[in-house]
Chain A
């Protein structure tokens, strides 16, 4: 699970502590973990996570974690991994951002929503500094003011 969360954080650009906090009453990671595994199959699933673990060494002495994450992500998405491997990683990004599992059909993408909960956990709504349509925990009038900084939503310096 730690590798799954770490990989997801690197690929999505959201901090691990944001998408899978230590105290986590929502636990969307468990739902996504199971879906990812079921969709891409055990072999590819464990290979991807194992590769991530191998690549996820601590940053070098002159390297920030952010820079390290960039390199890990590039390595995970490199064409040399194989088309299926890379597409699976990209689908994982889409899953985290939307709560839905995508089907890519050439030029277009369609998707199947996993659950009511996954819809409310989509990161797309966070990256736009807002909330899922239909699920606002803000208060009256918030829309007349600017939202909090993007970094407050992603947990990273943005």
Chain B
């Protein structure tokens, strides 16, 4: 690592966005420095894997540092033994913190106070944010699922087409943003080495009105991952359903895992994509970091936490980044310093990036760097998920193959997205769109299986709801084996048969509901809570304030029941109970993600899709970046990653993050080269003058 290198670019963050820009710049001969807050990418993923194997709760973050559970002895206040984020140098949010969201010694995030007198269906209710990320070399793609869908062309035009949300900006010459992205989608598909079926994608894309096919003249680098028996159960039996006039059919999911041998191994169906693929059949950003380093033009410094972006008071250019170094996770900082380059690229994911910018306020930019619009940190979104689960009629053998190999994509778009309001401004028609993910993971997410059902039949409990007399809301019997008594305790042959009968039938659907952008959903700096480096922790304000998204929950609930009926399955989706917004002595525990709507109790889950907090737009006044992902305020500052999305859309974000990172790289190179061209021209003219 040369301290005297003159860097063309500094990139903050080594996730997929930063890795792609580093790679492209390094390939083009530019000198790049990546500053990563977290630890080094290990040569061997055994330490992460070992941590995962030993973990009691196999959450998405469970393999990765800092420790996610059992860090300290269990207590009534802290049964999972969550570490204190205030004592960590790179703390982060995890799903295990969700139920402790009001406990600052367990939850990394600070949250907004609840208003008084809320009712169960109050739109102003605050919730715990549902999704998490990693602060390690290689970033959050260590634990992504791998789903590599593109957005639909209509996704970019929500406002124009459906009267909700915002449109994405157009590109140069008024080009539609989807069209602008198509060549970058292709680059992203190749970099991630997506396995998919173009035939399936063409079919999908031609279904939605006046949209073009998937893209010109190219194919996926590898054939699609074979569908699972669970997929077939849905595909074969759901043949004539419609949701809001859109046909329902199953589509193989394009995914970033090897269906063929390559530099990395072919998928062996470890069914563990989240949280970690042990054989790296699934792509993660360490692949691109390796390529970036191989160019010989990229340096990376780990355990360098960027704490401030420095602004030149005269030119408004970024003229440096301050960073803090540390040795151990809970030890003191080991030093601070500043790094400089021509261009600066923020790629620390959609929570840490706005946090950094908000920490970088100056007199001229009192609301934070790059924040003349006031939009920094705002419009925080996630795919809020509805889960439905059940037992199929006959065994379909879940827990095999990747966690998900297919979905129902055909319902992602349609007239149902159009919002219609009455004279009082109440929404009378229209709902958020969703895609439906088919899970191969049995009830592991929905019910903590297989150990929940195991506990039921070994100790006579009923947390799976299969072990006692009951009916579901359709009046179907839930007790799996009616010949057994309630709360039966089994052993031997009977235990084998019962567990086998239940496990092999477990199915799960997940609805990724598109949350719209709201200014009130935001990331701010906590006034009170700090991490071990003394930096403020993020404060999250997060609500589901509109009927538009809540209507999607109602739809998802009904559709699940309909689909389960079509395939002859018995639904086991549980009523999550009414929300509890206020802590009371001897009362029920606070809920984190429960809400009521139209007489239903709902709970939402996070999909891991943190987007929106530094969006691109057409106007300096209402966005942080132009369509080139360049700050309106500081011309040598770029911001990349999911924070740039003006809307969340109906697909998992990673492929689009990658595509936009490729486009950002092009833009940065264009700017670097035009500057050196013009300065060369200046030099030439000066030297010719001097002759």
Are chains A and B native binding partners rather than an unrelated pairing? yes
Instruction: Using CB atoms and an 8 Å cutoff, list the residues of chain A in contact with chain B.
Output: 10-14, 66, 69-70, 73, 77, 90, 93-94, 97-98, 100, 102, 104, 107-113, 115-116, 119-120, 124-125, 127-131, 133-147, 150, 154, 156, 158
Number of interface residues of B (CB under 8 A): 56
Minimum CB–CB distance for A84 against chain B, Å: 14
Give me 16 A-to-B residue pairs in the complex whose CB atoms sit less than 8 angstroms apart, sorted by A's number: A12-B496, A13-B493, A97-B458, A102-B455, A107-B462, A109-B458, A110-B79, A111-B451, A127-B499, A127-B503, A130-B397, A133-B270, A133-B272, A143-B405, A144-B228, A158-B497
Task: Select which of A70, A116, A129 is within 8 A of B493 by beta carbon.
Answer: A70
Question: Considering only CB atoms, which chain B residue lies closest to A98 in the complex?
Answer: B451
Question: Considering only CB atoms, which chain B residue lies closest to A137 in the complex?
Answer: B268
- Asked whether, in the complex, the Cβ of A13 is within 8 Å of the Cβ of B492, the reply is yes
Cα A151 to Cα B272 in complex, Å, equals 25
Minimum CB–CB distance for A153 against chain B, Å: 9
Task: Select which of B461, B463, B499 is within 8 A of A128 by beta carbon.
Answer: B499
Which residues of chain A have C-beta atoms less than 8 A from B270's C-beta?
131, 133-136
Cα A112 to Cα B501 in complex, Å, equals 26
Cα A135 to Cα B462 in complex, Å, equals 28
Which residues of chain B have C-beta atoms less than 8 A from A70's C-beta?
492-493
Majority-rule SS of B interface residues: loop
Cα A40 to Cα B52 in complex, Å, equals 27
Which residues of chain A have C-beta atoms less than 8 A from B489's C-beta?
77, 90
- 5 more CB-based (< 8 A) A-B contacts, given A94-B455, A98-B450: A10-B491, A13-B491, A116-B50, A140-B266, A143-B228
Question: Considering only CB atoms, which chain A residue lies closest to B50 in the complex?
Answer: A116
Which of B458-477 touch A at CB < 8 Å? 458-459, 461-463
Minimum CB–CB distance for B278 against chain A, Å: 6
Cα A83 to Cα B356 in complex, Å, equals 58
Minimum CB–CB distance for A134 against chain B, Å: 4
- Asked whether, in the complex, the Cβ of A93 is within 8 Å of the Cβ of B269, the reply is no
Minimum CB–CB distance for B496 against chain A, Å: 4
Indicate whether A111 sits within 8 Å of B56 (C-beta atoms), given known contacts A69-B492, A144-B228: yes
Indicate whether A124 sits within 8 Å of B229 (C-beta atoms), given known contacts A13-B493, A73-B491: no
Which of B353-390 touch A at CB < 8 Å? none
Cα A120 to Cα B49 in complex, Å, equals 12
Indicate whether A134 sits within 8 Å of B228 (C-beta atoms), given known contacts A108-B463, A127-B503: no
- Asked whether, in the complex, the Cβ of B444 is within 8 Å of the Cβ of A133, the reply is yes
Which residues of chain A have C-beta atoms less than 8 A from B441's C-beta?
133
Cα A150 to Cα B504 in complex, Å, equals 11
Which residues of chain A have C-beta atoms less than 8 A from B497's C-beta?
158
Which of B245-292 touch A at CB < 8 Å? 259, 266-272, 276, 278
Which residues of chain A have C-beta atoms less than 8 A from B554's C-beta?
none
B141 touches A (CB below 8 Å):
no
Minimum CB–CB distance for A54 against chain B, Å: 18
Which residues of chain B have C-beta atoms less than 8 A from A144's C-beta?
226-229, 401
- Asked whether, in the complex, the Cβ of A134 is within 8 Å of the Cβ of B52, the reply is yes
Question: Considering only CB atoms, which chain A residue lies closest to B274 in the complex?
Answer: A133
Which residues of chain A have C-beta atoms less than 8 A from B58's C-beta?
133-134
Instruction: Using CB atoms and an 8 Å cutoff, list the residues of chain B in contact with chain A.
Output: 49-50, 52-56, 58, 79, 226-229, 259, 266-272, 276, 278, 397-402, 405, 440-442, 444, 450-452, 454-455, 458-459, 461-463, 489, 491-497, 499-500, 503-504
Indicate whether A124 sits within 8 Å of B463 (C-beta atoms), given known contacts A11-B491, A133-B270: no
Majority-rule SS of A interface residues: mixed
- Asked whether, in the complex, the Cβ of A119 is within 8 Å of the Cβ of B53, the reply is yes
- Asked whether, in the complex, the Cβ of A125 is within 8 Å of the Cβ of B399, the reply is yes
- Asked whether, in the complex, the Cβ of A129 is within 8 Å of the Cβ of B500, the reply is yes
Cα A131 to Cα B459 in complex, Å, equals 24
- Asked whether, in the complex, the Cβ of B461 is within 8 Å of the Cβ of A107, the reply is yes
Cα A84 to Cα B449 in complex, Å, equals 26
Cα A152 to Cα B214 in complex, Å, equals 45
- Asked whether, in the complex, the Cβ of B504 is within 8 Å of the Cβ of A128, the reply is yes
Which residues of chain A have C-beta atoms less than 8 A from B50's C-beta?
116
Interface centre among A66, A111, A144 (most CB of B within 10 A): A144
Question: Considering only CB atoms, which chain A residue lies closest to B80 in the complex?
Answer: A110
Task: Select which of B451, B458, B459, B496 is within 8 A of A158 by beta carbon.
Answer: B496
Cα A104 to Cα B494 in complex, Å, equals 22
- Asked whether, in the complex, the Cβ of A127 is within 8 Å of the Cβ of B500, the reply is yes
Task: Select which of B226, B278, B504 is within 8 A of A141 by beta carbon.
Answer: B226
Minimum CB–CB distance for B583 against chain A, Å: 21
Minimum CB–CB distance for A128 against chain B, Å: 4
Task: Select which of B271, B440, B454 is within 8 A of A136 by beta carbon.
Answer: B271
Minimum CB–CB distance for B489 against chain A, Å: 7
Which residues of chain A have C-beta atoms less than 8 A from B266's C-beta?
140
- Asked whether, in the complex, the Cβ of B268 is within 8 Å of the Cβ of A150, the reply is no
Interface centre among B266, B402, B444, B500 (most CB of A within 10 A): B500
